């Protein structure tokens, strides 16, 4: 019995207990890390269209998982991690993949929200039929993924989605291709009517996207701000209530001038009737100057 209390044996037992205590602390820290990681969920928000779902606070999610990664890296430096090495490596791999996926998703979501707001405009969808076809595939992936987030909101589970990162990367490349096609379309429109260079891309998308409805909306709510940007000195224009022909241009000081030739807008492309408006403005100014000189006897 006395040998049981031998000083060397007690020292060894004490060392084993200390190691066991430290290993348990590592195991507990690793378990806590894993539990916290698995508890993080996506915060989703339904948009005003009643269909589109977006993931909120993506930068916060990225920051949170980067902190988890740092904690895992610190645990790897602990001398008592040996028994849990494979486990911490697996957790670190999951965290790294999740960060990569969230970063790629953030880019994808930004692309989708921008393009979705454009392709809901039927005229743009018709004008860019090829790009719209590609966008339909992008939309299918976005919808399926966000529905999946709803069903399984735990963020770490996206690591288990097969080929998810490559699918997101391909969709982001497709979105860049679509945006390139959109920019080429807008530049072609500007090339056909140089004054369109005075308008931003967003203004052009809105104008061409509304197509035939543009004149109706201009008549109803008076949204003619782009006219001022196109033609300096013109505050607004007036349309015939029935034919929708453009009949008058009105200056910022309230002066109203009747066009000598009314501009047809019904069933006419927006850029075409805008170009005709410019031509009819010149003709009207020319004729009014001629009449002024004639009245002055010059």
Report pLDDT for 213: 83
Over residues 194-212, the pLDDT tens digits come to 999 999 999 999 989 887 7
Q: Give the pLDDT band of residue 183 (cuts 50, 70, 90).
A: very high
In angstroms, how far is CA 225 from the centroid of its own chain? 25
| Domain segments of the chain as ranges | 19-189, 215-293
Burial 229-241, CB ≥16 within 10 A → b, else e = ebbeebbbbbbee
To the question of pTM greater than 0.75 for the whole model, the response is yes
Report pLDDT for 260: 87
Over residues 219-229, the pLDDT tens digits come to 877 667 788 88
Cα gap 282→93, rounded to integer Å: 68
Q: Give the pLDDT band of residue 49 (cuts 50, 70, 90).
A: confident
| Mean pLDDT, residues 89-103 taken together | 95
- 54: enclosing H helix or E strand: strand 53-56
Over residues 120-149, the pLDDT tens digits come to 998 899 999 999 999 999 999 999 999 999
* Domain spanning 19-189, CATH class: mainly alpha
Place of tokens 């291709």: 177
Report pLDDT for 4: 54
Report pLDDT for 290: 78
| Arch. (CATH architecture) of 215-293 | Alpha-Beta Barrel (3.20)
Of the listed ranges 57-61, 93-97, 219-223, the least confidently predicted one is 219-223
Over residues 145-164, the pLDDT tens digits come to 999 999 999 999 999 888 99
Cα gap 169→167, rounded to integer Å: 5
CB-count exposure of residue 249 (10 Å: 0-12, 13-18, 19+): buried
- Calculate the average pLDDT of the chain: 88
- 237: enclosing H helix or E strand: strand 234-239
The answer to whether 122 and 213 have CB atoms below 8 angstroms apart is no
Q: DSSP class of residue 262?
A: E
Report pLDDT for 297: 64
Q: What is the DSSP string of 64-93?
A: HHHHHHHHHHHHHTSTT-GGGHHHHHHHHH
Distances (CA, A) of 103 to 52, 108, 164, 197: 20, 9, 12, 34
Report pLDDT for 64: 95
């Amino acid at each position: 019995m006395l040998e049981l209390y031998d000083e060397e044996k007690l020292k060894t037992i004490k060392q084993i207990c200390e190691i066991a205590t430290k290993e348990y602390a590592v195991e507990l820290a690793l378990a806590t890390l894993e539990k916290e990681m698995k508890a993080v969920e996506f915060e989703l928000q339904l948009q005003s269209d009643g269909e589109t779902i977006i993931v909120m606070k993506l930068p916060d999610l990225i920051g949170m998982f980067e902190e988890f990664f740092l904690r895992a890296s610190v645990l790897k430096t602990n001398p008592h991690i040996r028994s849990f090495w494979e486990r911490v490596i697996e957790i670190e791999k999951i965290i790294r993949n999740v960060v990569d996926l969230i970063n790629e998703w953030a880019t994808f979501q930004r692309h989708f929200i921008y393009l979705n707001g454009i392709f809901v405009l039927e005229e743009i969808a018709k004008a860019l039929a090829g790009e719209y076809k590609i966008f339909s595939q992008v939309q299918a992936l976005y919808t399926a993924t966000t529905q999946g987030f709803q069903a399984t909101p735990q963020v770490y589970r996206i690591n288990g989605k097969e080929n998810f990162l490559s699918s997101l990367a391909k969709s982001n490349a497709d979105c860049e291709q679509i945006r390139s096609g959109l920019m080429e379309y807008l530049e072609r429109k500007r090339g056909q009517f140089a004054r369109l260079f005075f308008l931003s891309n967003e203004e052009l998308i809105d104008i061409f996207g509304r197509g035939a409805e543009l004149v109706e909306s201009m008549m109803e709510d008076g949204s003619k701000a782009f006219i001022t940007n196109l033609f300096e000195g013109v505050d607004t224009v007036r349309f015939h209530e029935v034919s929708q022909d453009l009949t008058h241009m009105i200056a910022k000081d309230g002066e109203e001038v009747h066009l000598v030739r009314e501009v047809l807008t019904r069933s006419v492309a927006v850029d075409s009737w805008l170009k005709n408006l410019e031509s009819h403005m010149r003709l009207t100014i020319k004729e009014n100057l001629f009449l002024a000189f004639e009245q002055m006897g010059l």
